[in-house]
Amino acid sequence: MAEPIEVLGNGKMLSMYRTMFMIRRFEDRVNELYMQGQIPSTLHLYVGQEAVAVGVCTNLDKDDYITSTHRPHGHAIAKGVSIKSIMAELYGKKTGCCQGKGGSMHVGDIQVGMFPAIAIVGANIPITAGAALACKFIHPGKVAVSFFGDGASNEGAFHEGLNMAAIWNLPAVFVCENNLYAASTPFTTTFKIKDVSERAAAYGMLGEIVDGNDVIAVYNAAKKATERARAGQGPTLLECKTYRQCGHSRSDPRGYRTKEEEAEWIKRDPILLLAERLLSEGNETSEDIKRIEDQVNVDIEGAIVFAKESPDTEPSDTLQHVYYG
């Protein structure tokens, strides 16, 4: 049950709305630019899942850690990576958060607690356990959070990462974004169980299910999980039930699911749900919301100009920042 709006505070609600809208608009624009051939490589969009990143990251400080996946734009924006540096990264520019060498699937900025994202499905999960181990010994009170998909929960790395975090009682939160598909493979064909969170019991950790399209529900569940972690009470597996409204990546005709199913989920669009709540329970008006959206649009257009005007990463930069032993 979500906390009432008065308890959460309108400032926080509006801030979450702003970030969710920022993620959506950022990706809408990035998709257009990609279709125009301005952005190279491929894109995995987060459309429909914004409440997960924002609900979780609203509980995190700058020096808490997150790890992410091939679908990382939302996590990066919610953790505070600057949109200019993400946009420049997508354009392959020197001012990008990874100096333009990583592109969409590797965005991150350790200065704000985000490890560059990893596109190997499940590989970020044990790294989160490692970051949580560092928190326990070097940064007490800090927490490490892993975002990953339902598909990643069938990788060996999921088992290893959760088990290590459990046996060492690490300050970690494992956030599974169950969007019902791993690329074109439906959840039901690769899981014998109904919920990913059931697996928590196998590692002796708490498992919880939350409506991943309700940012307040996600915020509250993540609050409990992060507080437990910070207090030395160990890790949690948080399963957020959600839906990717777009295709898996650049060319996906989505023949593996029905238009009716998509329409049902789009009715519960997380941004619309929060806007309705702000209007009905808060003191906000549609003009207040529009003002936020207008400012976000200005910021995003500014980030695009910044990225376009930034210098390209040069072939001579290739070996800079490359570690070899």
Ligand X SMILES: Cc1ncc(C[n+]2csc(CCOP(=O)(O)OP(=O)(O)O)c2C)c(N)n1
Stated length of the chain: 325
- CA-based torsion, 203, 204, 205, 211: positive or negative: positive
Q: Where are the beta strands (DSSP E) in the chain?
A: 65-67, 144-149, 172-178, 181-182, 185-186, 206-211, 236-241
Decide which of ligand X, Mg ion, none touches 183; Cβ closer than 5 to 8 Å per partner kind: ligand X
CA-to-CA distance for 48 and 244, rounded, in angstroms? 5
**Residue 179 in the binding site for Mg ion (CB under 5 A):** yes
Least distance between Mg ion and beta carbon 121 (Å): 9
Residues 122-151 that bind Mg ion (CB under 5 A): 149-151
CA-to-CA distance for 198 and 217, rounded, in angstroms? 19
Q: Using CB atoms, what's the residue nearest to ligand X?
A: 149
**Among the listed residues 13, 121, 145, 162, the single contact to ligand X using CB under 6 A:** 121
Torsion over CA of 124, 125, 131 and 136, rounded to 10 degrees?
A: 170
**Among the listed residues 19, 95, 128, 179, the single contact to ligand X using CB under 6 A:** 179
**Residue 127 in the binding site for ligand X (CB under 6 A):** no
**Residue 71 in the binding site for ligand X (CB under 6 A):** yes
**Residue 250 in the binding site for ligand X (CB under 6 A):** no
Decide which of Mg ion, ligand X, none touches 115; Cβ closer than 5 to 8 Å per partner kind: none
Burial profile 196-223: b = 16 or more Cβ within 10 angstroms, e = fewer: bbebbeebebbbbbbbbbbbbbbbbbbb
Residue 18: name the closest of 292, 216, 303 by CA.
Answer: 292
Least distance between ligand X and beta carbon 249 (Å): 8
Least distance between ligand X and beta carbon 317 (Å): 26
Least distance between ligand X and beta carbon 84 (Å): 25
Q: Work out the number of other CB atoms within 10 angstroms of the CB of residue 150.
A: 22
Take residue 318 and report the two structure tokens written for it: 């290739």
**Among the listed residues 119, 144, 166, 304, the single contact to ligand X using CB under 6 A:** 119
**Residue 155 in the binding site for Mg ion (CB under 5 A):** no
Take residue 33 and report the two structure tokens written for it: 């630019």
Beta-sheet pairing, 144-149 with 172-178: parallel
CA-to-CA distance for 163 and 149, rounded, in angstroms? 18
Q: Which is nearer to Mg ion, 122 or 149 (CB)?
A: 149
Least distance between ligand X and beta carbon 205 (Å): 20
Which of the 8 DSSP states describes residue 324? -
**Among the listed residues 21, 147, 174, 181, the single contact to ligand X using CB under 6 A:** 181
Q: Where are the beta strands (DSSP E) in 172-230?
A: 172-178, 181-182, 185-186, 206-211
Q: Which is nearer to Mg ion, 145 or 278 (CB)?
A: 145
Least distance between ligand X and beta carbon 149 (Å): 2
Tell me if 125 sits within 8 A of 157, measured CB to CB: yes
Least distance between ligand X and beta carbon 244 (Å): 6
**Residue 151 in the binding site for ligand X (CB under 6 A):** yes
Least distance between ligand X and beta carbon 276 (Å): 26
Binding mask 3-42 for ligand X (x = CB under 6 A): ----------------------------------------
Residue 46: name the closest of 66, 70, 64 by CA.
Answer: 70
Q: Which is nearer to Mg ion, 85 or 179 (CB)?
A: 179
Residues at the contact surface with ligand X, assessed by CB under 6 A: 70-71, 119-121, 148-152, 179, 181-183, 248
Residues at the contact surface with Mg ion, assessed by CB under 5 A: 149-151, 179, 182
